[in-house]
Amino acid sequence: MNNKFLTITTLIFGAAMLRLIPHAPNFSPIGAIALFGGAYINKKYIAYLIPIMAMVLSDLFLGFYGPEMLITYAGFVASIFIGTQLKKNLNIVNVAIGSMATSLVFFLITNFVFFYPTSLGPLYTHDFTGIVNSYIAGWPFFQNTFASDLLYNSILFGGFYLLSINVPSLMKEKVKAS
C-alpha cells in the first residue's frame, strides 16, 4: 500500500462516518464516497470494494433495514461506476457533472420502488401513476441528495487536490492496493 491509497481510503472511511452524525434526510456523503472512490482508485474491483466496505461499516452502526437496502446499494454501485468513468478525464467540470449524475441516477434507481418489495408493503400502485407518485414523493429527498453530493464532492475532491499540492507525492503515485 502506498500513501495515496491510504489517504484516499482514509478520506472515504472518514466521510462514511459522517453518516453517523445527525443530518437532514438524504443529506449524507454517500454519493461523494462512491464517486470519489471510483474516480481515484485505479484497480476496478478495489474501486468498488473500498466504498462498499465503508458503506457497510457505517450501516453496522446505523442498522440494516429491509429489502429496499439492496436498492440503495444498487444506486451506490451505479455511482461508483460513474466515478470510474471520471478517472479518464478528471477535472472540476467533470466532477461537477459526475456529482449531478450520481444524484440523478441514485434518485431514479431508489425511487423506482413500485417494482421493489419494501418492509412497509406496497407503497404505490404498479402502473404509470404509481411510478409518477413515487418520484413526486421522492423529490424533496432528491433536493437534499443533490445538495449534499455537490457539497461532499467539493470537500473530497477539492480537499484531496489541496492536500496533493502540499504533498506532491500524492499526485504522482499510482494508487496501489497491495
In a domain, 133, yes or no: yes
Is 22 a member of any domain? no
Q: Residue 127 falls within a domain, yes or no? A: yes
Under a CB-based contact definition with an 8 Å cutoff, are residues 7 and 170 in contact?
Answer: yes
DSSP, collapsed to helix, strand or coil, labels residue 17 as helix
Distance CA 147, CA 13 (A): 20
User: What b/e sequence results for 94-105 when a residue is b if at least 16 CB atoms lie within 10 Å of its CB, and e otherwise?
Assistant: bbeebbbbbbeb
pTM of the model: 0.89
Q: Exposed, middle or buried, 177 (CB in 10 Å: 0-12/13-18/19+)?
A: middle
Average pLDDT of 143-150? Answer: 96
* Percent helix / strand / coil, the chain, rounded to 5: 75, 0, 25
Whether 149 and 99 have beta carbons less than 8 Å apart is answered as yes
Report if residue 178 sits inside a domain: no
For residue 21, tell me if it sits in a domain.
Answer: no
Q: What band does 114 get if pLDDT is binned at 50, 70 and 90? A: low
User: In this model, does residue 122 exceed pLDDT 80?
Assistant: no
**13-35 residue pLDDT tens:** 999 999 999 999 999 999 999 99
Does 177 score more than 60 pLDDT? no
Whether 8 is covered by a domain: the verdict is yes
Which is nearest to 35 in space by CA: 12, 6, 18, 59? 12
What is the identity of the amino acid at 73? Y
The residue that leads in pLDDT, 119 or 154, is 154
Number of domains in the chain: 1
Q: What would the pLDDT profile of 52-99 be if each residue is shown by its tens digit?
A: 999 999 999 998 877 778 888 999 999 999 999 998 899 999 999 999
Residue 11 within a domain: yes
User: Does residue 101 fall inside a structural domain?
Assistant: yes
Q: How many residues does the chain have?
A: 178
Domain containing 132 equals 3-16+28-172
